[in-house]
Structure 1
Amino acid sequence: MTGNAGILTATFAVYIAIMLGIGFVAYKRTSNLSDYILGGRTIGPGTAALSAGASDMSGWLLLGLPGYAFVAGYEATWIAAGLLTGTYLNWLIVARRLRVYSHAVNDSLTLPAYFEFRFEDKSRLLRVISAVFILLFFLFYTSSGLVAAGKLFESTFGLSYELAVVVGTVIIVSYTFFGGFLAVSWTDVIQGLLMAAALVVVPVMTLNTMGGWGEARGAMEAANPELLSFFTDVDGEALGFVAIISLLGWGLGYFGQPHILARFKAVGDDAALPTARRIAVLWSAVCLFAALMTGWVGIGYFGEAGLDDAETVFLALIQALMHPLVGGILLAAVLAAIMSTADSQLLVSSSALAEDFYKALFRRDATQSELVWVGRFAVVGIAILALIFAFNPESTVLGLVSYAWAGFGAAFGPAVILSLFWRRMNRNGALAGIIVGGITVVVYKQIDTIGLYEIIPGFILATLAIVIATLLTAEPSATIKETFDDVANRY
């Protein structure tokens, strides 16, 4: 691959130019904050589904999950099962009702704004605290994307890790800065399709080279028979209840991810959401299974030599097996995965700063143009902070994602679900749930001694906090109840 660096570079350059071109077109269609944050609520079901999937899966789908499957074998299936179940339930339970409800309560553009108007919080405390948790956990989540970008450019072009991270950051920031949600959604469609194609091609080509799944499975068994067990770890120890629940618990995170929930709110017609759900679940099923297969066939292909960094197994297979032109396109899919999530995270973070801090607390009469530019400059500022976190080359993509995923899932998941389905829920309950869920994840991460994924206690305690605080305080106003009934009657 080294001697064909020119072909690789040209392929990457063409791909990046296309993404920047999309950003420019979207820039011409962005005139107000609704356009910048939610694309004016005009996207279709296919775009919503692929954009949600691409922004969800990110670089960890092509680096983190194959890397985990490479070192853990069939054990990694539990994470994939949890994620696919969470994807389906999120689209089934949350998507349509959130789209309708967020529009009904003052056309709320952001998740913190939705909470504020849903519960008529005049103090704005609910909005501000929600925004604080968004900014906190997105620093880690965005950093995971920049770490993935660093590994990609370091592995492909031989750049130093630090320079590779900076290059990836500049590319991602460029089109997000100008194009906002439309640029992010349109590029996500291309990136989502490219990711799926790459994830299918790489294990299929590897299996063809090795002589089929039987040979690959035999090589896995020769390396370590425990890799072929769903119920033991690589050392032969039984996976206990805590381990399996922790892996399946990843699915709980979907209900609180602001960048995924934003896709639900942006759909032009809520009646199109069932179609979007079918597309999203099919895409996720294909990508998750292919990511697992990539790790498993990688075990057999690299044999005893192994890899210095398991999270580069997808990259290593491309470099070993593919023609430079094909390899360049497939490696661009890795960049696509990274960009599709990092841009969404930057956009949600910038909207939190522009809408939930700047406008809500400092400039309530700010013009739409002013808010768009505040959002744009917030993208740059947040990216710089995430870049600082990402400069540690020892960081793992999956490790950073797991922490941020748990934080969002516990802080917002129970609050979102109960706000959509429990008429009695009030502002105090929402506030208690968000605070307890977010803090539990941060604290439990430091004190855990049994290996339980922090999203589990966070989600449970947040739910209890919402119920207890709600029942101990006054019922919501008649207006809140009427709005809830109006939304419920849509179904």
Structure 2
Amino acid sequence: MIQMQTLLTFIIYFIFLMGVGIYFYRKTVDVEDYLLGGRGMGSWVTALSAQASDMSGWLLMGLPGAVYIGGMNQAWIAIGLFIGTCLNWKFVAPRLRVYTKRTESMTLASFFEDRFKDPTGLLRVISALITLLFFTIYSSSGLVAAGKLFESMFNIDYTLAVIIGSFVIVLYTFLGGFLAVCWTDLFQGLLMFVAIIVVPILAYNYVGGAEAIKEAMLAKEVSTSLISKDFSIMATISTMAWGLGYFGQPHILARFMSIKSVKKVPEAMKIAVTWVFISLGGAVIVGVISIPMFDSLASGNHEKVFIYMISRLFNPWIGGILLAAILSAIMSTIDSQLLVSSSTLTEDFYKRVINKEASDKELMHTGRICVLLISIIALFLALNPNNTVLGLVAYAWAGFGAAFGPVVLFALFSKNTSWQSALAGMVVGTVVLLIWKQVGLGKIMYEIVPGFIANVATILIVNTMVKQTDEDILNDFDEVIEVTDTIA
């Protein structure tokens, strides 16, 4: 009976999502609508869509699970992410909105080409390949989270659970494009926000308060503070380095590109920063409270503590709504990743290489087909139940941060950076990250750190040898800075 009630809640939720997809299918008239919502998104939609798509299933599964195992020292991840969020909204969002509108760029890869006027097309093609590589990994992490959620709730086979989750997400993304994704993200972000506040408050009273939590943490020998006896500078840098990843995440940067006006960025930033602060804090608290609530969990089940907590505290109807928040976190990221991957294949490969004269209607159809292709590949990667949500997210997050983060910052803040510098930095940063990860050095230092540093160093070195001399590029940069400085 419990499963039936919860299942009914989920069915209603799925119907709502399908309705949104169908509604915006009729509203989407050209490729800019499908890929960027016509650059007409409001502050609330932009803010919550950016942050809901950012946090994904790892916020309600991966992060609480990490805290459950390691204790409070895992909260450095949340601190790094919060700082990264603030810096990204403050410095990247306004300039990126103005610059991408000026260059009429609809993807990050096309922005790099247009911003630096790369005559070879290599910046765009390599950026697109990196996007597809890491978004396929990233999308699979969400499908793993969906599989674990359905498996826990309904006792169904993991493979079937992953397939069901994939079907629902792909369908409304396929139909409604960016508009459907952003408006569902708004609702999903609000649902996640409610869940991450309500659940820890009730769970705190359930376990007996602060003393009971501290006793359980001491008994399990996990850290009770940010700086404990096993504190490590290297480990702290690695966890805080998650914040570096923000500057290169295409699905978040796409939200900055889509906001209706740069004047709306400050308002959106306030909404986003508030949401992130409370949500990250709530996720850490969930992990801490789960330590006394669940004495021991079977191997690999630590990422399900939020699911178990809801099941223990709430009746099936309310529990079903709160569990839908976890599904919201998962869906709000995968749909964005599928759409950005689709944008990359459509704009940066199909339109550039196959059919340069493709109509808007043809590009929209191509985009929808690309959503299906990427989702199928991600589905096969997700079928391994031994994958962890946090592990897959960490690799993809680092990949984007190391490859794109420095290039985005130099594009927006360095007048003299050339396309040769940007291309060299991107390639070196990606190669260093991949090698660092493959040889096992990621256990010593999170791979985003050496990758990011290598990218920055390469750009600075090449800049001394190949300077930007194109007057059009220099004038464009000055005009963009003038506009954004006026708003600030």
Deviation at 1:349, TM superposition (A): 0.3
Q: Verify: 1:326 aligned to 2:318, yes or no.
A: yes
- The correspondence for 2:436, drawn from 440, 444, 452, is 444
- The correspondence for 2:251, drawn from 254, 259, 268, is 259
Q: Give the letter aligned to residue 83 of structure 1.
A: L
Normalised to the residue count of structure 2, the TM-score between the two structures is 0.97
Change (3 A) 1:263 1:197: same
- The correspondence for 1:455, drawn from 412, 434, 448, is 448
- The correspondence for 1:205, drawn from 202, 219, 224, is 202
Deviation at 1:306, TM superposition (A): 6.8
- The correspondence for 2:146, drawn from 131, 146, 149, is 149
**Could you tell me whether the CA contact under 8 Å between 1:425 and 1:476 is conserved in 2?**
no
Q: Aligned-pair RMSD on alpha carbons?
A: 1.2
Normalised to the residue count of structure 1, the TM-score between the two structures is 0.97
Deviation at 1:478, TM superposition (A): 0.4
Instruction: Tell me how far apart the structure 1 counterparts of residues 312 and 125 of structure 2 sit (CA, whole Å).
Output: 49
Q: Verify: 1:95 aligned to 2:93, yes or no.
A: yes
Instruction: Tell me how far apart the structure 2 counterparts of residues 182 and 343 of structure 1 sit (CA, whole Å).
Output: 11
* Paired position in structure 2 for 1:228: 224
Deviation at 1:250, TM superposition (A): 0.3
* Paired position in structure 2 for 1:342: 334
Instruction: Tell me how far apart the structure 2 counterparts of residues 222 and 195 of structure 1 sit (CA, whole Å).
Output: 31
Q: Give the letter aligned to residue 459 of structure 2.
A: I
Structure 1: 4+ residue segments shifted above 3 A: 304-308
| Aligned ranges 1:302-321 → 2 under 5 Å | 302-304=294-296, 309-321=301-313
Q: Verify: 1:191 aligned to 2:188, yes or no.
A: yes
| Aligned ranges 1:51-62 → 2 under 5 Å | 51-62=49-60
* Paired position in structure 2 for 1:176: 173
* Paired position in structure 1 for 2:84: 86
Instruction: Tell me how far apart the structure 2 counterparts of residues 478 and 69 of structure 1 sit (CA, whole Å).
Output: 52
- The correspondence for 1:28, drawn from 26, 29, 37, is 26
**Could you tell me whether the CA contact under 8 Å between 2:57 and 2:326 is conserved in 1?**
yes
| Aligned ranges 1:235-250 → 2 under 5 Å | 238-250=230-242
**Could you tell me whether the CA contact under 8 Å between 1:307 and 1:313 is conserved in 2?**
no
**Could you tell me whether the CA contact under 8 Å between 2:141 and 2:382 is conserved in 1?**
yes
Gaps of 5+ in 1: none
- Is the partner of 1:129 in helix, strand or coil? helix
Q: Give the letter aligned to residue 30 of structure 2.
A: N
* Paired position in structure 1 for 2:114: 117
Instruction: Tell me how far apart the structure 2 counterparts of residues 466 and 175 of structure 1 sit (CA, whole Å).
Output: 40
**Could you tell me whether the CA contact under 8 Å between 2:417 and 2:467 is conserved in 1?**
no
Gaps of 5+ in 2: none
**Could you tell me whether the CA contact under 8 Å between 1:112 and 1:126 is conserved in 2?**
yes
Deviations 1:73-105 (A, max 9, x none): 101110000000000000011000000001111
Identity %: 49
Deviation at 1:434, TM superposition (A): 1.2
**Could you tell me whether the CA contact under 8 Å between 2:310 and 2:323 is conserved in 1?**
yes
- Is the partner of 1:77 in helix, strand or coil? helix
Instruction: Tell me how far apart the structure 1 counterparts of residues 383 and 453 of structure 2 sit (CA, whole Å).
Output: 34
Deviations 1:161-202 (A, max 9, x none): 101000000010000001000000000000001011111111
| Aligned ranges 1:254-403 → 2 under 5 Å | 254-304=246-296, 309-403=301-395
Instruction: Tell me how far apart the structure 1 counterparts of residues 142 and 385 of structure 2 sit (CA, whole Å).
Output: 13
* Paired position in structure 1 for 2:427: 435
Instruction: Tell me how far apart the structure 2 counterparts of residues 383 and 217 of structure 1 sit (CA, whole Å).
Output: 43
Instruction: Tell me how far apart the structure 2 counterparts of residues 175 and 282 of structure 1 sit (CA, whole Å).
Output: 28
Deviation at 1:435, TM superposition (A): 1.0
Instruction: Tell me how far apart the structure 2 counterparts of residues 471 and 175 of structure 1 sit (CA, whole Å).
Output: 48
Instruction: Tell me how far apart the structure 2 counterparts of residues 477 and 252 of structure 1 sit (CA, whole Å).
Output: 30
Instruction: Tell me how far apart the structure 2 counterparts of residues 318 and 227 of structure 1 sit (CA, whole Å).
Output: 25
* Paired position in structure 2 for 1:483: 476
